[in-house]
Amino acid sequence: MTAALLAGLLMAQTPGWKVDPSGTLLWGGVPYVPIGARVPGTVDAIEQATKAGVKDLLVELPTDGRTWPAVFNELRRSGVRFFVEINSLAPSSVGVAVEPESYRLAGINSKTRLQAAVPGSSEALIVLATADGTVQKSRKVTADPNGHFDEELDPGNSVEHTALMYPLLRDARVPDGWDGLDEHRDSLLAAFAQAGPAPGFRGLINPLGSIAQFPPANLRFVPTSPRFRTELEVYLSRKYGSQKRLEQAWSIQAPDFTSIAQITRLVPLWSPKRGINAYWDRSSNQIYTAISRSSQAWDDIQTVFNIAVRRRMINLCQALQHRLGVPVIQTWSGWNGPYEGNAAGLAGVAVRLEGDSISDLNRGTARAASTLSRWDRAGLLLATDVKAEGDLNETILQSRQLGMRGWFFTAPTEAELQKIAILEGTEHGDWLTPRPTFLNFPESAQNPAVPMQLGSNAWWVPAPLDGNRIDYGRKISGYVMRTADGDQTVMWANQTELKVRLRLLDPKLASVRSLAGADIKTKVTKTTLDFTLGTDPVLITGPTVPVPQESIEETMQEFTTLAGLVPQQVQNVMDDIEGFRQVSATVNQNPFSAFTSMRYRLERLRRSLAPMVWVEAENSREHNWSEVQQDSSASGESVLMLSTRIDPLDGMFRARYLINPRAPGAHDIWVSVKGSTPAISQLFLEVNGDRKEPSPPPLTSVYGNGFGWLKLGSVAVSGPQQLTVDVKCPSPIVAQVALDVVLLAPPNYRPSGPFLNWYPPLSPAPKK
């Protein structure tokens, strides 16, 4: 069937297409830059748009193909040019979700009912375990047709137990790279065959269907597809060579298997910090003990899963692009998509632009532009969903500088359609100008780095790189990133040009160049490197991270000022002061290590003396959120994470904090948080049992990989405060929520980024 469909799909198109080195789509050798409307796949919507004068359309259509013939007839009749975007949900995998931090119910010491709604789930393994991880009971249970579980749990004694749930479900977050993809491909090809050729057809968007976000590479999900298990068996056989070596690598205790094929049925029941040291064989419903810390099981399962899904998606894109004779494009939905690092199966990347400001526009485009910049050839960048509000021409002019070469506006009214039609005829100049150059920054370095234009033809964009911001103080900002060519430090002056002296272990091995690639004139000594630092970033390459002498002196001066404010009896702070003095004496031996330690102690001292009270959210001593999770972009490089899908026994997710204000009076309570808008909107604050009405998102002063500040309420204080950050259940948590900082601050204070922006007047600089 598939071969017959493919054979009939060579559609009648104008001769050839390609993407020019500028990133512009050439159709028949002529630049084609669509400025049109996004419309639903109905005859009425197409008629309305074409009557308003719109000549380029993006048409949303489902995979089933039932409405395609009528829609294509109207598209042929009107003579418009059009892209097709598949708006059906992508086929999803069936498998066991291993998220013990999310599917858990703690505090069970008597008969308890576990009630959970897990959409798409048909059955689950429930394990009762004690605090040391010992499995007391386990059983497989069945959900009702709506995915609801209602089970009575009996620990059998008064010792506190935790129930862990491992549901079998169809997970919309996980694309099916096996049978589901084959069925989807056949349906899509049949739809095109029924619709017939159309001369105005210019491209296919999202051939796999709608995907909210591509799953991360470390997702803990075990597909039940027999084809997946076959591929896993082949991989394990090649990697380990024998069943015995595989059992050792997976740290399986007391195995009774007769083949590697049997081992592929196992589901590891642990995540990095939660779960139990065991495997579950769903076929036999047997539990096998394991040593999770030494097991390679998750590495092997994730490798096979990611390779298989990625390879099949790329193959699907290549086949459709070849047979349909049009470019195939995927909407950017996370760094782990098939477009990242391999351009073989796609002609470009699409983005949905949200927000009303230029910074929103830059932020929405920057990640997709960053991805295309790493392709070994030019790719097309399209905006497929833009509000038809405000100055549409300004939207085009701003985003075209980032490499955008096509815009489809969402236009529900006739007036907005007419605005788009007028815009299509506007002269926008030469589209074949060179693509911009890009300077990357790791996501964790956002704020101080932000997506923005640098000079006339360069842009700052995030990238999936290891690295982090560097706190150089008030005058200088910077970050370090790990690239294929080694570590690079990026540095710039915050306000005015500065003459800087960098401290390094071996300055002769360092190089300093401008954003344009030109070497910057430097003066090198045995331990320093001098040059003039401007407000545009410079790139410094070398075996060690440099530290400006100016930043060292500023740090020492500020610490001296703050240390003078500390009473002698505050022993813990005095210990920090002594530690600072000891570390500062090692600057010559190891500049960067000593400097980062000095900045850490300075920030601790600043938080001890400021009128604000800064509390790392992960330090809550009483909470029933999911877990503490590492995050290098967060304030303390850890966050308190909420991803729980089972309501707690008391119907509330709580994280409690005891906070001692510096002074009585009115204060605002802020939290630094990351998550979807619906999820963050569920947060509220209780102060000594009194609920406060929060300010709704959006977040302010966004930093790292999505953290931002939200005001949760105000309170008049006269002594210690019991603050509780709550989420009421049942809660429509549609994504994870990460809590970074809880901050009590005087009125009119506005937090900024991951550091406490409070600075006392500086004392005279200490003698060198």
In a domain, 667, yes or no: yes
Of 522, 545, 568, the residue that ends a domain is 545
Do 533 and 643 reside in the same domain of the chain? no
- Of the candidates 393, 351, 458, 327, which has an alpha carbon nearest to the alpha carbon of residue 20? 327
| Edge-to-edge strand ranges of the sheet holding 266-270 | 266-270, 275-281, 286-289
Blockwise average pLDDT, block size 10, the chain, 768 residues: 45 69 93 95 96 96 95 96 95 94 90 88 94 90 92 91 94 86 90 94 94 88 95 97 96 89 96 93 93 96 92 88 93 90 82 71 85 92 88 84 92 87 78 88 94 87 94 96 88 94 92 90 93 95 94 94 78 78 91 95 91 95 90 93 82 90 93 88 87 80 93 90 84 71 94 89 58
Do 585 and 637 reside in the same domain of the chain? no
In a domain, 122, yes or no: yes
Do 587 and 444 reside in the same domain of the chain? no
Is 193 within 8 Å of 174 (Cβ atoms)? Answer: no
Do 446 and 497 reside in the same domain of the chain? yes
Do 268 and 156 reside in the same domain of the chain? yes
In a domain, 623, yes or no: yes
Do 721 and 577 reside in the same domain of the chain? no
The CATH number of the domain holding residue 659 is 2.60.120.260
In the 3-class helix/strand/coil scheme, how is 383-405 assigned residue by residue? EEEEECCCCHHHHHHHHHCCCCC
Give the predicted TM-score (pTM) of the model: 0.89
Of 490, 516, 545, the residue that ends a domain is 545
In a domain, 442, yes or no: yes
Which residues sit opposite 164 in a β-bridge?
Answer: 104, 127
Q: What's the total number of domains in the chain?
A: 4
- Of the candidates 98, 96, 85, 103, which has an alpha carbon nearest to the alpha carbon of residue 123? 96
The CATH number of the domain holding residue 499 is 2.60.40.1180
Residue whose tokens read 């150089």: 472
In a domain, 668, yes or no: yes
**Helices then strands (H, E): number in the chain?**
15, 46
In a domain, 183, yes or no: no
Of 609, 624, 640, the residue that ends a domain is 609
Rounded (10°) CA dihedral 581, 586, 590, 596: 0
Do 116 and 256 reside in the same domain of the chain? yes
The CATH number of the domain holding residue 267 is 2.60.40
- Of the candidates 365, 332, 281, which has an alpha carbon nearest to the alpha carbon of residue 96? 281
- Of the candidates 353, 539, 519, 368, which has an alpha carbon nearest to the alpha carbon of residue 439? 539
Do 564 and 635 reside in the same domain of the chain? no
Domain of residue 532 covers 437-545
Do 605 and 617 reside in the same domain of the chain? no
In a domain, 89, yes or no: no
Is 492 within 8 Å of 402 (Cβ atoms)? Answer: no
Q: What is the pLDDT of residue 203?
A: 96
Is 501 within 8 Å of 509 (Cβ atoms)? Answer: no
Do 590 and 733 reside in the same domain of the chain? no
In a domain, 79, yes or no: no
Do 493 and 630 reside in the same domain of the chain? no
Do 678 and 737 reside in the same domain of the chain? yes
* DSSP one-letter code for 177: -
Beta strand residue intervals within 66-134, DSSP E: 81-86, 92-97, 104-108, 112-117, 121-130
Q: What is the pLDDT of residue 646?
A: 82
- Of the candidates 609, 612, 659, 616, which has an alpha carbon nearest to the alpha carbon of residue 636? 616
